[in-house]
Amino acid sequence: MREIIEQFSWWSALDILIIAVLVYHGLLLLRGTRAAQMLTGILLLAALASMSSLLPFTTLHWLMSRLYPSFLLIIIIIFQDDIRHMLSTVGRRPLLTGSEMVSSGFILDEISRAAAALAAKRIGALIVIERDILMTRYVEVGITIDAKVSKELLLSIFHPSSPIHDGAVVIQRGRVAAAGCFLPLTRDENVDSNLGTRHRAAIGISQESDAVVVIVSEEGASTAVVIDGQVKRMKDQKGLREFLGSLLTIEDQEDNQNSRLKSVRHNVSEYMRRKVRRMKGRSSNEQ
């Protein structure tokens, strides 16, 4: 231990710092891709490979030794789109990123109001709300908007006379990033055959990412939310707003926590007041 401490120098500290920065920013780039979801499986395979070399698992060691040389090539082939996206964002991504809020209560209010107005007019719409997995690859093929989310903007985008009303709107980092975006259709054969292309695109993007998708059906004049490939019908604007808030908004959770804290403080203050009154009553009786 003393030899290690004696050999440790400023160059060693700088070396460790560089490695830590590279690993940290590599994880930041990985966080916004589908590869992040596979990280657990990759770590499990690495643990199995280490276990096979340490313990007498002959068959497992043989299998891992045959799989290991081509493992890196398999990873590159499977995640070639994600790797290309990560490398393209290395020069554009800031070194120190601030807190990225998915959406605020105001934004969800505007989306709910727009969805209700579009449903009343029987105008179809598809709104994708980004969460942890980035939607940049779909934003890049659409028409860049980069504007504040508002009911009026969404109504103008999805109006039948608009040239980009057929595509999807992607909301990224609390702003309308792009419109007219094309989404992948689901390949699930168990999907209801009565669902149209808009619903199939919403299910497809929700299966490939963790995005929350709001659908406005022009045939049924109704709204729905798609998450993880599941379609949930909404009754009205209030129900849509509450459901989106439960999925996305941090403010609603903070309001619930604040209300609970207020109730706890109120109960504690009432208890202390009663305690003081009892003590005053006892002292007056003793006198």
| Residue 135: inside a domain | yes
pLDDT digits (tens, 9 = 90+) for 101-157: 444 688 999 999 999 999 999 999 999 999 887 888 889 889 999 999 999 999 999
Least confident of 100-104, 195-199, 243-247, 262-266: 100-104
Confidence of residue 50 (pLDDT cuts 50, 70, 90): confident
Looking at the structure, do residues 146 and 197 belong to the same domain, yes or no?
A: yes
Looking at the structure, do residues 110 and 193 belong to the same domain, yes or no?
A: yes
| Residue 264: inside a domain | no
Higher-pLDDT residue of 276 and 163 is 163
| Residue 219: inside a domain | yes
Dihedral sign of CA atoms 54, 60, 63, 68 in order = negative
CATH of the domain at 211: 3.40.1700.10
Domain span at residue 25? Answer: 9-88
Looking at the structure, do residues 74 and 183 belong to the same domain, yes or no?
A: no
Looking at the structure, do residues 78 and 123 belong to the same domain, yes or no?
A: no
| Residue 274: inside a domain | no
Is the pTM here over 0.75, yes or no?
no
**Cα-trace Rg, the chain:** 27
Looking at the structure, do residues 148 and 219 belong to the same domain, yes or no?
A: yes
Looking at the structure, do residues 83 and 190 belong to the same domain, yes or no?
A: no
Whether pLDDT at 198 is above 80 = yes
Looking at the structure, do residues 71 and 114 belong to the same domain, yes or no?
A: no
Number of structural domains in the chain: 2
Domain boundary among 55, 88, 121: 88
- Average pLDDT for the chain: 77
3-state DSSP of the chain? CHHHHHHCCHHHHHHHHHHHHHHHHHHHHHHCCHHHHHHHHHHHHHHHHHHHHHCCCHHHHHHHHHHHHHHHHHHHHHCHHHHHHHHHCCCCCCCCCCCCCCCCHHHHHHHHHHHHHHHHCCCCEEEEECCCCCCHHHHCCCEEEEEECCHHHHHHHHCCCCCCCCCEEEEECCEEEEEEECCCCCCCCCCCCCCCHHHHHHHHHHHHCCCEEEEEECCCCEEEEEECCEEEEECCHHHHHHHHHHHCCHHHHHHHHHHHHHHHHHHHHHHHHHHHHHHHHHHHHHC
| Residue 78: inside a domain | yes
Looking at the structure, do residues 80 and 34 belong to the same domain, yes or no?
A: yes
